[in-house]
Structure 1
Amino acid sequence: MKKRVKAPFFEIGPKSYLYGDKVFSLAMAAERAANRYQVDVLFTAPFTEIRRISEAVNRVIVLAPHMDAIRPGRGVASILPEALKAAGAQGVLLNHCEKPLNFGRLVETVQRADELELMTVVCAGNLREAVAVAGLSPDVMIVEPPELVGTGKAASSDVISQVVRTIRSVSPETLVLTAAGVSNGRDVYQNILSGADGTGASSGIACAEDPEGMVEEMVRALRSAYDERALKTCRIS
């Protein structure tokens, strides 16, 4: 059965900033924060760490950072979807700006993930691309302008609100994560107050002076912002 994520949620992608025991320690910090604040945390693990992390966590949802739309057989150095699932991945991140796919290949890869009941977390770099990707009905969409990735400069509230409205008009069941440039709890708070279902960080965590402490700060801000947003909605209604 495919793993389902619910709002509010947070995604951590250490990319290649960290490896080995440091990545594992970060995943354990994510597990603690997920339990403490009762939120879903997606952890996009390096391929080499998927099994070790997946066997050590309960609340954290482990994603693979990519996969190929191949089937068992020939394919040296390709990333076999069945192998990812066997290693413990519950979903896959696709079409990140650092690992882009053309649209035809993206369609094939999403279909392969759906066959295996792997959660699909698909990236788009702008609204036009987001509309096309939303038509594939992924479980989660990440919308982050490539020019903001890794800069520490987050998107504005107006941009976030427009992104959320646009994606929901195409695929109401798809959860929306807005990120890029998220570097502290304030950025997280603003993303969620602006209407996103989730947010996340890579360099903002991995390059922080205290990465594990930054996980705590960001997930705490996520929980606080979502609860405040829910309270405002109740007052209005």
Structure 2
Amino acid sequence: MKSIRTPYFEIGTKNYIYGDKVLEYAKVADKAAEKYDIDVLFITPAVEIRRIAENTKNLIILAPYMDTLRPGRGMADVLPEALKAAGAQGVVVNHCEKPMSLPQIRCTIERARELDMMVFACADTVAEAKAIAQFHPDILNPEPSELIGGGGNGVSDMKYVKEVIKAIKEIDPDILVEQAAGITNGQQVYDFIMAGSEAAGAASGIMNAQDPIAMIDEMIAATRRAADDLKKI
């Protein structure tokens, strides 16, 4: 499994775009990752994974979801082995738009571990983040669900950010903690990382931006700026 340098940046396309537009944005992110020397996670629909993997060289590609079945019988479920074969290096678990029960989260993490796939877990509350941290995902993205999707409700306040980072690190200091809910500009990316988050990310903040391509560059550049400024502290 590929290790991640921090701070990193994460891009989620969700279903805002599809087909050639996903590839276009992936190539932009790929170039920015190289330009700014920042690790970039790219979460894309499963049907786009192989094409993105074959046409980029710097992105860490994650699937947005997987089931836990094994090769054999099963219609329409998302097979973990197929995701990995397509080029996925990891998987998202328990996003608020695709929630899971705690037993399902645990089972999915165990399947990912079998295949040496990175686990990017999401949580809503501090309590849920602490519960999921017990399963030791590689990344935990605690984001209040009311802030997700660019609904105009702002971003996580710094009190929540610091509280949830502390709670997760007390359980497992090796879990990387990201903040992504509601981020719409590079300054917010910078502020979250400087406040202690090991990464920031965006989906609607990029996909619904007036100029998504420029926003990808702005946010990855902000990650680079934060990385440089952290070295001065």
Question: What TM-score do the two structures reach when normalised by structure 1?
Answer: 0.95
Per mean C-alpha deviation after superposition, the further-off stretch among 148-157 and 11-20 is 148-157
Aligned amino acid, residue 109 of structure 1: T
Distance 2:219 2:65 in 1: 25
1:27 aligned counterpart, secondary structure: helix
Match of 2:221?
220
1:158 to partner: Cα distance = 1.9
Superposition pairs of residues 194-213 of structure 1, within 5 angstroms: 194-213=195-214
For structure 2, list consecutive stretches of 5 or more residues without a partner in the other structure: none
Deviations 1:118-171 (A, max 9, x none): 000000011000001111111111111001102241111222111111111111
The alignment of Structure 1 onto Structure 2 pairs a total of residues equal to 231
Amino acid at match of 1:117: D
Correspondences of 1:105-184 after superposition (within 5 Å): 105-150=104-149, 151-152=151-152, 153-184=154-185
Q: Deviation string for 1:166-203 (max 9, x for gaps)? A: 11111111111011000011111111111000010000
Q: Any idea what SS the aligned residue of 1:17 has?
A: coil
Deviation track 1:13-53 (CA, whole Å, cap 9, x = no partner) reads 01010111111111111101111111110000111110000
Q: Distance in 2 between matches of 1:39 and 1:144?
A: 22
Give the equivalent residue in structure 1 for 2:187: 186
Alignment partner of 1:137: what SS?
coil
TM-score (structure 2 length as normaliser):
0.97
SS of corresponding position for 2:106:
helix
Q: Percent identity?
A: 47
Change (3 A) 1:134 1:148: same
Gaps of 5+ in 1: 233-237
Corresponding letter in the other structure for 2:160 = V
| Map of 1:72 onto structure 2 | 71
- How far apart, CA to CA, are the structure 1 residues paired with 2:57 and 2:138? 20
1:205-236 superposed Cα distances (whole Å, 9 cap, x missing partner): 0011111110000011111123212312xxxx
Provide the rounded CA distance (Å) in 2 between the counterparts of 1:159 and 1:101: 23
Residues 124 and 133, structure 1, Cα contact 8 Å, conserved in 2: yes
Runs of 4+ more than 3 Å apart: none
